[in-house]
Structure 1
Amino acid sequence: MKFDLHTHHFRCGHADGSIRDYIEAGIAAGLSVIGISDHTPYFASPSEQAFPRIAMAKSEIANYVEEVLSLQKEYAGKIDVLLGIESDYFPQHAELYRTTLAAYPFDYIIGSVHNVEGDSIFNKSRWKKLGPKQMHAVKAEYYRLITESARSGMFQILGHIDAMKGNYPNFSQIPAAAEIDECLRVIGECGVAIEINTSGGTKLCGGWYPSDDILERALHFGVEVSFGSDAHKPSRVADQQGAVAARLKEIGFTHWVYYKQKEKQTVAL
C-alpha cells in the first residue's frame, strides 16, 4: 500500500497546481492514500498574508479545508484523501497555532522548523562568516527547536528534520551527534513520527531528508517513520517512494505509518 502525506498547491504561493491536480497525480502513481498538507498562514502576523510567496492568507484556511473535504467525498473509493497541514513551529506562538488549528478536523499536522534565529534554514549565506563554534551553536539550536516541537504535543509528524542541509550540504558535517541523539530520543518517547521527505533532491544537497545515519539512529530510539514527497508540483507526487521503502527495510525498519483522524495507521514495508 502506497501513501504520500506531504503535498502543497497554489495557495501557498510557491507551488503549482490545484488540490485536484495532486489527487489525480496520486491516483496515477498508484497511491491508496494522499495527504494534502499546505503551509499554514502566519497566524501571529497582523497582516492578512504576511508572506504571499511562502504561505496562504489567513482567510484562505477555511476555504482550503472545505475544498479538501469536498474532494475527499468526491474521490471516496478511488483514493483516500486526507486533510493535513504543515505548520511552522514558533515557540513564542505555539499556543496561538494550537488553538487556531484545533478548530479544523485535520487528519494530521506536520510540524516543521523553517526558521532558526530569525533566518530561513535554506539561507545558505548565513554560514559564510561563521566559525566552527558558531556553526555548532546554530545546528544545536535547530535540533533544540525540533526537540521542543516534539514535546509540544501539537504534531503527529515532524517534517524534514535535517532540511537545514538543503542549500548547505556541509551542514551534515557540523558535529552535533549529542544534540541529534537527544532530539531522536525525545521524539521516540513522545510517539511522534518523522517523515522521510524526498524534496531534498530539489535542493543543493540532493537525496532526501533525513540522512541514512539519522534514520539508523531513529530506529535505535524507536522513532516511527512516515513518507512525504513534499511535492510543490503534481509530477513529484510519490517521488522515490519505492526507493525509500527499500532503503528503510535495509536499515531495519519493518513498517511505516500515516495518520487518519489523528489515529496512527501502520503499513508494512
Structure 2
Amino acid sequence: MIDGHMHLENGPLTKEYVLEFVEEAHKKGIDKIQILDHTHRFIEFEPIYMELKDYEVQKTWLENKKMKFKDHLADFVNLMEDVKAMDLPIKVTYGLEVCYVPQHEEFIRNILSQYHFDFLVGAIHSIDGILYDMGFSKALLWDKYDVNHIYKRYYELIFQLIESDLFTQLAHPDTIKLFEIYPTYDLKPTYQRLSELLNEHHMKAENNTGCYYRYNHPDKGLSDELLENFKKNHVQLITASDAHKPADVGSYIKDAEERNKI
C-alpha cells in the first residue's frame, strides 16, 4: 500500500519528526509514503501568494510566520535526502504540493528547476485570488459568487495545471466539493476531459481521503462519478491520506485502495 500525500507543516524540519510519519505508516502496513509540504511553508514561494493578500482575512492567514514562509526549500530537500539515506522499514520519497497559480507559472517553473524532487503534486486552492477551502471561504467566495462559475473556473484552472507539464500528480481532484455545495450542471463532460488530459500528460490522480476525515465530507475519497470515469479511462490512481500529523498517516488508505479496484 502507498500513502501518496502527507505534510510535515505542523512540525519542525527534523529527522525525528519525519520518522514519526515513517513509524506510523509502518505500523499501519503502508509500504511506501510520499512526504511533501505546501509551498506556503517556504520563503522562496511567497511571491505566488501576493494576490491572496488583497483580502484582509487571507492576508492575516498568510502572515502567520509560525506556519507560513518560515523555512528555506533547500533545508527541506537536504533533510529528506538525509532521511532517504537511512535504513528505513518502508520506502520514503519526497516532493512538494505546489499551489498552481497561472500568472506565476514561470516563476514556479524556475524555482522547481533548481532542485530534484521524486514527484511534484499540483494543487488548486484558490479561485482567482480567493481561497475556496477555508473556514472564511464561505463568506468570501461561496456566498458571493455563482456556484456554477466557481466550479467551471476551478476545473479550468485544473486543466491549466495539467497542461503546464510541471507536475507528476494531481492533488485531491474534486476537493472543491468539501462544503457539499454542488453545481446545477452535469459534471460528466468535465470529468471526461480531466481524464483525457491526465492521460495525455502522464499524471497520476489522487484518491485522497482527506475531505472525508478532516472535513466530514461523506465521500471516502473521490466521488463515485469521478472515480468511475478515471477507472473507465485507465487514469493512473494513487491513494493518499493528506495527513497533516503523524497519527493521520494511512487514514482510510485501505478503503481508497479497495475503491480503486472495484
Residue in 2 that maps onto 1:63: 75
Give the partner amino acid of 1:84: G
Return closer, same or farther for 1:226/1:33 CA change in 2, 3 Å cut-off.
Answer: same
CA-to-aligned-CA distance 1:18-74 (integer Å, 9 cap, x gap): 222212211211222111111113342599x95547965274211111111111112
Within 1, Cα distance between the matches of 2:218 and 2:49? 36
Q: Does 1:140 align with 2:143?
A: no
Q: Does 1:33 align with 2:32?
A: yes
Return closer, same or farther for 1:210/1:220 CA change in 2, 3 Å cut-off.
Answer: same
Within 2, Cα distance between the matches of 1:171 and 1:54? 34
Residue in 2 that maps onto 1:223: 235
Does the 8 Å CA contact 1:121/1:163 hold for their aligned counterparts? no
TM-score normalized by the length of structure 1 = 0.80
Within 1, Cα distance between the matches of 2:90 and 2:176? 33
Residue in 2 that maps onto 1:124: 138
- How far did residue 218 of structure 1 move? 1.3
Return closer, same or farther for 1:39/1:55 CA change in 2, 3 Å cut-off.
Answer: farther
Give every structure 1 segment of 4 or more consecutive aligned residues whose post-TM-superposition deviation is greater than 4 Å: 53-56
Residue in 2 that maps onto 1:72: 84
Residue in 2 that maps onto 1:262: none
- How far did residue 244 of structure 1 move? 1.1
Within 1, Cα distance between the matches of 2:11 and 2:161? 22
Q: Does 1:110 align with 2:102?
A: no
Within 2, Cα distance between the matches of 1:128 and 1:175? 21
Give the partner amino acid of 2:47: A
Name stretches of at least 5 consecutive residues in structure 2 with no aligned partner. Answer: 51-60
Name stretches of at least 5 consecutive residues in structure 1 with no aligned partner. Answer: 251-269
Does the 8 Å CA contact 2:38/2:97 hold for their aligned counterparts? yes
**Aligned-pair Cα RMSD in Å:** 2.5
Return closer, same or farther for 1:46/1:86 CA change in 2, 3 Å cut-off.
Answer: closer
Within 2, Cα distance between the matches of 1:174 and 1:52? 38
